[in-house]
């Protein structure tokens, strides 16, 4: 047992918080991720994480709670993307890219001003990669509340979301307000991504959003099954990642622990590759849907 | 502003703007904006690894950006391109985080790789930028027609015997090549802003490919030159001005296109031909 769990693993306060928060974030990201992947909005999902971190550094600069910076920039960017045409498949990636480019410009300015005044050269780095072990327990209730909000939005919209993702024309003909549904989903995505980016960093946020969902969509036969599989995979990845990161404290070469994000990302991408290579030999009907949509000009 | 070290800055920035204008035009046309973001940003992991091993960071950037291009193209064969890009990207960044945690004094360098050090360009750095820039422009000129066809009309291109996957890989490799040399100078974030904003603006101004590509280069040049002047005067980072100007040009282009479309729709009954204009 000691070979797997280093002594002190179960008694460590930061580990408890990391495990609890990691579980909540993994489940929310996985469920929202299933719809994100189905709708082909991975780029938006990643961009919102990057943009939210810009808001975080802006809030840091003016001295208000970072939580509001993350949320405001995430939601604002989502509204902006929606306005300039993310709802059209063709112009979507470009609109996302332009908003991301502008936000990254702001990030450069905020970090420049921030480092000029406080000389925290490591700030840009923490903002990108986050650190799950230095969470304060007081942020946990707010996190859980907003995760529930995002989950509830997606659950309430699940049926129409699937319909509008798979065939927007049929949905429109049936009287579904396609654009409003898309906007509501983008908001839910922004909230969930902004929070996960604040807690685990932009990199892990994207990994947990896309990886488990994409793997689950290759395995599962129904959307509900996919959501459950994705949640299980996401939780497993973050738990094993945290255990390994804790264990790695005495590993070479530096002797101060390998980053959690490395382990979690490796596990997630590894899991995807296993299903990817397995499906190589047998062509599954599930994939025809995927391939069909991938072929439509983006 | 035009003396000494600043001359290198102007030369490097002009070369980067031309490369970004041309490759960005195709990135926008093909819908590979995510890859345009992922390859320069992910490649920083290579620089981190190279500095860990005491090698030239250029080598690390080149290896990782090419690996990123291969990863995206390889995974795209049987998954959605955006999922393939996202997973390749996070894997590269995850490895980057590992490398950074192994070395102890990397934070400052990581900052300069993300945001660039355009005002500290040495003559040694200008030459490789010019050579690789010329190479990637030459590669795009050589495969201009098939690349154009497969970007605008993938089905027609496939029917005419242009292999779409090989074109995809070729384009991603050109982007990786352009990236690996420009990132240390202008930064990964600026390279991305400079590729997307001007190209997207140019595409909403005209539907003619060669004209749109020229416009994209011109707007990129104007953006980067204005940015350098503003940055020189205010001491604020160049990335900020480039990011904001790129978005401003895009919005102006969209407004112009909307006004023009409105006018043509009012003057004639038949709908305006959208052509290459995103719509």
Residue B239 placed within a domain = no
Distance from CA of A249 to the nearest CA of B (A): 12
Q: Is the peptide bond before A253 cis (omega within 30 degrees of 0)?
A: yes
Residue A7 lies in a domain: no
B22 in a domain, yes or no?
Answer: yes
A291 — contact with chain B (CB < 8 Å)?
yes
Q: Number of folded domains in chain B?
A: 1
**Of A119-123, A128-132, A214-218, A274-278, minimum mean pLDDT range:** A119-123
- What's the pLDDT tens digit per position in A17-50? 788 888 988 999 999 999 999 888 899 999 998 8
pLDDT at A282 over 70: no
For residues A48 and A42, give the distance between their C-alpha atoms in angstroms, rounded to a whole number: 10
Whether A298 shows a pLDDT value over 80: the answer reads no
Residue A269 domain flag: yes
Of A105, A125, A269, the CB nearest to B244: A105
Q: What is the pLDDT of residue A119?
A: 42
User: Is the CB of B87 less than 8 angstroms away from the CB of A211?
Assistant: yes
ipTM summary value: 0.84
Which CATH number covers residue A96?
1.10.3470.10
Per-run averaged pLDDT (10 residues), chain B, 279 residues: 75 89 90 89 83 80 91 88 91 86 64 66 79 89 88 83 86 87 77 90 87 94 92 86 90 86 70 48
Structure tokens at B158: 């496939």
Task: Tell me which residue in B98, B192, B278 faces A91 most closely, judged by beta carbons.
Answer: B278
B181, part of any domain? yes
Q: Could you tell me what percent of chain A has a pLDDT over 70?
A: 77
Residues spanned by the domain of A138: 13-295
A108 vs B97: CA distance, rounded Å: 20
In a domain? residue A2: no
Q: Does B276 touch chain A (CB under 8 A)?
A: no
Considering the domain boundaries, does residue B55 fall inside one?
yes
Higher local confidence (pLDDT), A236 or B3 = A236
CA distance A294 to chain B (A): 5
d(CA A213, CA A199): 20
Residue A22 lies in a domain: yes
Cβ-in-10-Å burial (0-12, 13-18, 19+) of B190 comes to: buried
Between A106, A257, A269, which is nearest B243 by CB? A106
Residue at A6 is within a domain: no
Q: Please give the Cα distance from A146 to B231 (Å, whole number).
A: 39
pLDDT at A34: 93
Nearest-angstrom CA–CA distance, B253 and B248: 9
**According to the 3-state scheme, what is the secondary structure of chain B?**
CCCCHHHHHHHHHHHHHHHHHHHHHHHHHHCCHHHHHHHHHHCHHHHHHHHHHCCCHHHHHHHHHHHHHHHHHHHCCCCCHHHHHHHHHHHHHHHHHHHHHHCCCCHHHHHHHHHCCHHHCCHHHHHHHHHHHHHHHHHHHHCHHHHHHHHHCHHHHHHCCCCHHHHHHHHHHHHHHHHHHHHHHHCHHHHHHHHHHHHHHHHHHCCCHHHHHHHHHHHHHHHHHHHHHHHHHHCCCHHHHHHHHHHHHHHHHHHHHHHHHHHHHHHCCCCCCCCCCCC
Tokens 């080149």 belong to which residue? B62
* Containing structural domain, residue B147: 5-188
Tokens standing for A232? 């299980």
Position A279 pLDDT exceeds 70:
no
* Interchain proximity A43–B93, CB inside 8 Å: no
Q: Which of B225, B55, B190 minimizes the C-alpha distance to B115?
A: B190
Section A136-162 average pLDDT: 83
Cβ distance A29 to A81 under 8 Å?
A: no
CB-based contact, B236 to chain A, within 8 Å: yes
Task: Give the model's pLDDT for residue B279.
Answer: 39
**pLDDT for B89:** 92
Domain membership of residue A3 (yes or no) is no
A254/B278 touch (CB, cutoff 8 Å), yes or no: no
CB-based contact, A220 to chain B, within 8 Å: no
Cα distances from B68 to residues A131, A144, A257, B174, B175, in angstroms, run: 25, 35, 26, 12, 10
- Spatial contact of A120 and B251, defined as CB atoms under 8 Å apart: no
Residues 6+ apart with CB under 8 A from A200: A22, A25, A130, A132, A208, A260, A261
Within-domain flag for A57: yes
- Domain-embedded: residue B207: no
Q: Is the dihedral of CA A81, B20, A121, A254 positive or negative?
A: positive
Length, in residues, of chain B: 279
The pLDDT value recorded for residue A229 is 95
Residue A35 forms contact with B (CB below 8 Å): no
Q: Please check whether residue B259 lies inside any domain of the structure.
A: no
Name residues 83-122 of chain B within 8 A of A (Cβ): 83, 85-87, 89-91, 93-95, 97-98, 100-104, 107-108, 110-111, 114-115
Collect all residues of chain A within an 8 Å Cβ-Cβ radius of residue B241: 105
Is the pLDDT at A191 greater than 60? The verdict is yes
What confidence score (pLDDT) does residue B69 get? 93
The answer to whether position A4 is within a domain reads no
Contact map slice: B 168-187 vs A, CB within 8 A: 187
What pLDDT digit, counting tens, does each position of A51-109 carry? 888 888 888 778 777 778 888 899 999 888 888 765 566 667 888 888 888 888 888 88
Q: Closest to B239 (Cβ–Cβ): which among A104, A211, A265?
A: A104
Looking at the structure of chain A, the number of domains it has is 1
Residue B237 falls inside a structural domain? no
pLDDT of residue A104: 85
Q: Count chain A–chain B contacts defined by CB atoms under 8 A.
A: 212
Nearest CA in chain B to A96: B33
Task: Give contacts of A 224-283 with B, CB under 8 A.
Answer: 253-254, 256-259, 261-262, 264-266, 268-269, 272, 276, 279-280
How much is the pLDDT for A285?
A: 44
What is the CATH classification number for the domain harbouring B134?
1.10.3470.10
The verdict on residue B42 lying in a domain is yes
Top-confidence residue, A171 or B2: A171
B210 closest CA partner among B134, B147, B261, B132: B147
Q: Is residue A289's pLDDT more than 70?
A: no
Which residues from B are below 8 Å from A253, CB to CB?
102
Q: Which two tokens stand for residue A55?
A: 């808001």
Angle between helices B238-267 and B188-205 (to 10 degrees): 20
């Amino acid at each position: 047992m000691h070979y797997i769990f280093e002594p002190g693993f179960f008694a460590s306060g930061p580990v408890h918080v990391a495990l609890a928060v990691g579980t909540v974030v993994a489940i929310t990201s996985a469920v929202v991720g299933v719809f994100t992947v189905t709708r082909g909005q991975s780029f938006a999902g990643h961009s919102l994480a990057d943009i939210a971190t810009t808001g975080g550094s802006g809030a840091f600069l003016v001295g208000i709670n970072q939580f509001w910076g993350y949320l405001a920039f995430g939601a604002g960017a989502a509204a902006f993307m929606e306005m300039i045409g993310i709802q059209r498949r063709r112009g979507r990636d470009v609109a996302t890219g332009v908003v991301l480019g502008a936000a990254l410009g702001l990030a450069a300015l905020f970090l420049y001003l921030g480092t000029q005044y406080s000389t925290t050269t490591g700030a840009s780095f923490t903002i990108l990669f986050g650190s799950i072990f230095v969470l304060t327990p007081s942020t946990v209730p707010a996190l859980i509340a907003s995760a529930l909000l995002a989950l509830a939005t997606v659950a309430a919209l699940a049926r129409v979301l699937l319909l509008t993702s798979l065939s927007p024309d049929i949905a429109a003909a049936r009287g579904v307000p396609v654009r409003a549904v898309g906007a509501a989903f983008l908001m839910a995505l922004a909230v969930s991504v902004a929070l996960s980016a604040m807690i685990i960093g932009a990199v892990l946020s994207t990994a947990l959003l896309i990886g488990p969902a994409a793997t689950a969509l290759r395995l599962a036969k129904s959307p509900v099954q996919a959501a459950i599989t994705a949640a299980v995979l996401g939780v497993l990845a973050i738990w094993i990642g945290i255990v390994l990161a804790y264990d790695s404290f005495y590993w070479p070469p530096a002797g101060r622990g390998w980053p959690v994000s490395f382990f979690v990302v490796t596990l997630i991408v590894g899991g995807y590759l296993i299903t990817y290579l397995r499906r190589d030999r047998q062509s599954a009907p599930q994939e025809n849907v995927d391939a069909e949509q991938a072929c439509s000009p983006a | 502003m035009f003396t000494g070290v600043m001359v290198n800055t102007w030369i490097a920035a002009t070369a980067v703007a031309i490369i970004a204008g041309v490759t960005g035009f195709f990135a926008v046309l093909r819908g590979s904006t995510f890859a345009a973001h992922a390859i320069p940003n992910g490649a920083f992991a290579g620089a981190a690894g190279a500095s860990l091993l005491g090698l030239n960071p250029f080598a690390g950037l080149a290896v990782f950006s090419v690996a990123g291009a291969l990863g995206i193209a390889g995974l795209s064969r049987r998954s959605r391109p955006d999922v393939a890009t996202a997973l390749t990207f996070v894997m590269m960044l995850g490895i980057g985080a590992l490398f950074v945690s192994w070395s102890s004094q990397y934070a400052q360098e990581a900052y300069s790789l993300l945001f660039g050090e355009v005002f500290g360009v040495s003559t040694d750095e200008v030459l490789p930028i010019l050579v690789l820039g010329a190479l990637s422009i030459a590669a795009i000129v050589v495969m201009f027609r098939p690349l154009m066809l497969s970007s605008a009309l993938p089905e027609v291109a496939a029917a005419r015997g242009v292999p779409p996957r090989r074109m995809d890989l070729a384009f991603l490799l050109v982007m990786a090549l352009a990236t690996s040399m420009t990132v240390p100078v202008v930064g990964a974030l600026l390279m991305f802003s400079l590729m997307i904003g001007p190209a997207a603006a140019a595409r909403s101004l005209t539907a003619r490919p060669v004209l749109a590509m020229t416009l994209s280069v011109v707007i990129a040049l104007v953006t980067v030159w204005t940015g350098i002047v503003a940055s020189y005067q205010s001491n604020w980072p160049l990335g900020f001005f480039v990011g904001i100007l790129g978005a401003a040009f895009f919005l102006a282009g969209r407004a112009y296109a909307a006004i023009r479309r409105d006018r043509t729709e009012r003057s004639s009954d038949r709908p305006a031909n959208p052509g290459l204009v995103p719509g």
